[in-house]
Structure 1
């Protein structure tokens, strides 16, 4: 009897263990929930998910939600999208939202958008409720040289067909900024920009800036326009300063050349004076030689000395007269 009791206990424990393993490995509760929700799933499919290391609840619960919303989805497609790294719950929510908004969105398109790294649910919501993108302060200069700071608000709607491969918000902001700079730059005066800021919106909107992007631009509204610096005057001032520096450099060059020329002339004068002194030092010798050889008489020598003395006297008188005249002119100026 004792051996029979132990055997019964062991069998009971084994049965309990097998039941626990069965209900752990096979999500019977999830299968029951799906069955009463109108989703027909085989237990073998759930077991296969376990073997493929797929969490069954992440597939079955979104499938139940889609079935209740009236969508006909294949569980194998959902599992394949999950294994590819997609977000099943967000995908199903996006398909439901698109169906409610009468937006033609099939499973393959939604799965491609999700795998491309975009939030497919947010894309559907932006397609239903347009989004406002605010640009940073954009600096532009009119033709009169006045800088204008412009800020714009761009209303966009998601384009489901271009979400895969289409450019994002950064491209929209960059294109709008380029359009604003071009439009302001073509304006003759900043006053025209301040008086008619809507002209910027019209010109920029007509450029088709949403081409190749994941959005459709609905409107571009100029939120703020401020007048900044006088770029033209600053550039002219900088140019004038640069011209002044160039002129000063050229003047310095001319002064240096003139100074070098003056030094050269002074050197030539000193050289000439040295030659004159040297020549004058030879005069007494020449006179002595002329007297000895009889080429110059004594009377001729004295006559020459008289002429030289007369010349020196006249030069001294002329210097005195010039000095007196200069003093008189100075006294006149002082008086």
Structure 2
């Protein structure tokens, strides 16, 4: 029973000691004093109550002090509470100081809060980064398609990291410059002979304006010959012209057929009128006989004329006469 009580007492003391050391980090304070970082135990305790991890702040102060930087504890706490990365900012400040890059605490925290990796940006300022562009397709004035690939060497522009455009914008502008430079050449052979011409033209355009990077060089890695776009376009145009001509010819044929049908209808209408008129002749003659306007001799004379006309037609067209028989 006494052993159980003793174990319980020891456990209670251990829990109390852990709670005490959590709120009063003696080990962390001792490390800060050895590193010549001026910070009191009370300040560490208050950090706990403000929900700021003392270890993050103290380690940042120690790193900055050892690197010869003067960091403010309140500013580090404020940056942490704002959602920033204190350790990344401290690493970036130390690296910038060693590389003689001008980078202040406010600028570093602003870059960090903007969502960019400030430490990586400082490293990129020291060691440039190479970006490979995707295949860029362009057509020279002679209609030959060229497919170019380039390597863009950039370094971070610290002052433009906040609000500056990213890698996608740089690649888009470089691609646009390659298309423009190839398209301005009279022949694709000129481009193949002098690929460095593309690099010079693109660099002169100042494509890094407003971006978070500074373009150091643009090197054409590879150029391939694609299709003969000019020939393809001419072929397509010829096919289109042929289809248009066929459509117009079909339209003219349809109009001719319609006109022929209309003429046939008019002819049939005229023939019907002639037949109708011929049918009225006997009635007219009978009416003339009744009225005394036509005599029997006039009738025989007309018949003789018809017989004579028929004979002359048969003599003139013997073939038609045979067909009629």
Question: Is this a same-fold pair by TM over 0.5?
Answer: yes
1:121 to 119, 122, 129: 119
1:144 equivalent in structure 2: 142
1:73 to 68, 71, 94: 71
CA RMSD of aligned residues (A): 2.7
Matched, 1:199 2:190: no
Q: TM-score, normalised on structure 2?
A: 0.87
Distance verdict in 2 for CA 1:24–1:303, change over 3 Å:
same
Deviation of the 1:22 alpha carbon: 2.3
Deviation of the 1:96 alpha carbon: 1.6
Number of aligned positions between the proteins: 317
- The residue correspondences of 1:261-276 to structure 2 (distance < 5 A) are 261-276=259-274
Deviation of the 1:247 alpha carbon: 2.8
SS in 2 for 1:226: strand
1:249 equivalent in structure 2: 247
Listed as ranges, the gaps of 5+ residues in structure 2 are 1-5
SS in 1 for 2:115: coil
2:210 to 206, 209, 212: 212
Distance verdict in 2 for CA 1:74–1:292, change over 3 Å:
closer
SS in 2 for 1:269: helix
Deviation of the 1:114 alpha carbon: 1.1
CA–CA distance in structure 1, aligned partners of residues 289 and 130 of structure 2: 119
Distance verdict in 2 for CA 1:14–1:157, change over 3 Å:
closer
Deviation of the 1:177 alpha carbon: 1.1
Listed as ranges, the gaps of 5+ residues in structure 1 are 1-7, 325-335
CA–CA distance in structure 2, aligned partners of residues 144 and 223 of structure 1: 23
CA–CA distance in structure 1, aligned partners of residues 318 and 87 of structure 2: 119
The answer on whether the counterparts of 2:314 and 2:320 sit within 8 Å (CA) in structure 1 is no
SS in 2 for 1:219: strand
Distance verdict in 2 for CA 1:17–1:185, change over 3 Å:
closer
2:230 to 203, 216, 232: 232
Q: TM-score, normalised on structure 1?
A: 0.85
